[in-house]
């Protein structure tokens, strides 16, 4: 009886052992199987990844190549654009330069070059020279309202503005001499020479050398001193002109210590605002400048 129980027990143990071994064997088999499946899938995934990476790299390389080509084309286009723009800018500047030159030449052609020449014993005006057009100075601005005082028409507005400005400052400037023809100057010089002899050369120009023949030069006075010029230096009119005449384009032709004539505080010549302002600022005399430097201001004579 005891042997039978032992056999049964051993048999149970054997069955359990076989079952356990079989279970774990099966599990081990499943694990190996799953491992093989996973390794296969991993291998496939890696292959797919490698293939995708390779394809992606090809795509990236292709895109980069296209970008480089596009950049090269863009750079070429930009270079050509800049070259064309520079060419057009240069062409435009040339056109503007030509137009400017044409404008300057046209303006100069309409401006009498004699208007800025140095005539006092330097340049000569012949007996046929007459300003292109005259205008009569309004009698209220003249010393003798019964006489006709003529000036070159284009300077009248500047002269009128100056005389009005002086009136507004309670300075009553009057014109006592304006345009004088070659013949008038000749007669005047002869009469002065008869009276003063060779001494007349110090205060009156020969015919053809007078600024008055240009029609841009005037002699000023005040009613208080009349036609006598000698005291004009002491008048408020002279001081006002020294401080303001340049604003209207007028300059004192013969200041103190000039080498042409005696000091003439009454004698003022229109040379244009630009040149008059330059002379005023630099404290220079018109006749101190070289004629070539003066001629540069002919373009702005009536500005």
Q: What is the mean pLDDT of residues 143-165?
A: 97
What backbone phi and psi angles, to 5 degrees, belong to 32? -60, -40
User: pLDDT-derived band of residue 62, with 50, 70 and 90 as boundaries?
Assistant: confident
Give me the pLDDT at residue 103, please: 47
Each domain of the chain, given as residue ranges in start order, spans: 1-110, 113-300
Q: For residues 223 and 236, is the Cβ–Cβ distance under 8 A?
A: no
Considering the chain, what is the average pLDDT of its residues? 83
Residue 105: pLDDT band by 50, 70, 90 thresholds? very low
Question: Long-range contact list for 144-148, CB < 8 A, 24+ apart?
Answer: 144/176
The pLDDT confidence band at residue 54, using thresholds 50, 70 and 90, is confident
Stretch 111-140: mean pLDDT, rounded?
90
Residues 169-217 pLDDT 10s = 999 999 999 999 999 999 988 887 887 777 777 768 889 999 999 999 9
Give phi and psi for 178, each to the nearest 5.
-135, -120
* Residues with Cβ within 8 Å of residue 116, at least 6 apart in sequence: 271, 272, 275, 294, 295, 297, 298, 301
Q: According to CATH, what is the number of the domain 113-300?
A: 3.30.1380.10
User: Is this structure's pTM higher than 0.75?
Assistant: no
**pLDDT grade for 101, boundaries at 50, 70 and 90:** very low
Residue 121: φ, ψ to 5°: 65, 15
Tens of pLDDT, residue by residue over 217-274, are 999 999 888 777 778 999 999 999 999 999 999 999 999 988 888 899 999 999 999 9
Residues in the chain: 303
pLDDT at 128: 92
Q: How large is the average pLDDT for residues 67-85?
A: 72
Residue 257 φ/ψ region, left for φ over 0, alpha for ψ in the -120 to 50 degree band, beta for the rest: left
């Amino acid at each position: 009886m005891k042997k039978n129980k032992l056999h049964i027990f051993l048999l149970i143990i054997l069955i359990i052992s076989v079952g356990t071994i079989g279970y774990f064997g099966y599990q081990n088999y499943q694990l190996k199987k799953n491992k093989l499946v996973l390794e296969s899938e991993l291998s496939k995934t890696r292959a797919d990844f490698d293939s995708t990476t390779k394809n992606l790299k090809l795509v990236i390389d292709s895109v980069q190549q296209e970008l480089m080509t596009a950049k090269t084309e863009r750079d070429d286009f930009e270079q050509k654009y800049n070259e064309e723009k520079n060419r057009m800018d240069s062409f435009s500047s040339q056109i503007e330069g030509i137009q400017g030159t044409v404008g300057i030449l046209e303006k100069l052609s309409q401006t009498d070059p004699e208007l800025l020449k140095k005539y006092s014993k330097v340049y000569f005006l012949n007996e046929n020279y007459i300003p292109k057009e005259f205008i009569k100075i309004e009698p209220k601005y003249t010393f003798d309202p019964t006489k006709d005082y003529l000036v070159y028409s284009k300077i009248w507005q500047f002269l009128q503005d100056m005389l009005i400005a002086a009136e507004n400052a309670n300075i009553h400037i009057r014109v006592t001499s304006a345009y004088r023809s070659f013949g008038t100057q000749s007669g005047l010089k002869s009469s002065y020479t008869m009276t003063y002899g060779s001494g007349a050369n110090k205060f009156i120009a020969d015919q053809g050398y007078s600024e008055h023949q240009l029609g841009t030069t005037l002699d000023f006075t005040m009613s208080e001193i009349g036609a006598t010029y000698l005291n004009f230096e002491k008048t408020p009119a002279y001081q006002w002109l020294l401080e303001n005449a340049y604003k209207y384009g007028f300059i004192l032709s013969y200041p103190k210590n000039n080498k042409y004539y005696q000091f003439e505080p009454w004698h003022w010549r229109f040379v244009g605002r630009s040149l008059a302002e330059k002379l005023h600022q630099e404290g220079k005399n018109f006749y101190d400048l070289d004629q070539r430097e003066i001629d540069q201001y002919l373009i702005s004579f009536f500005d």
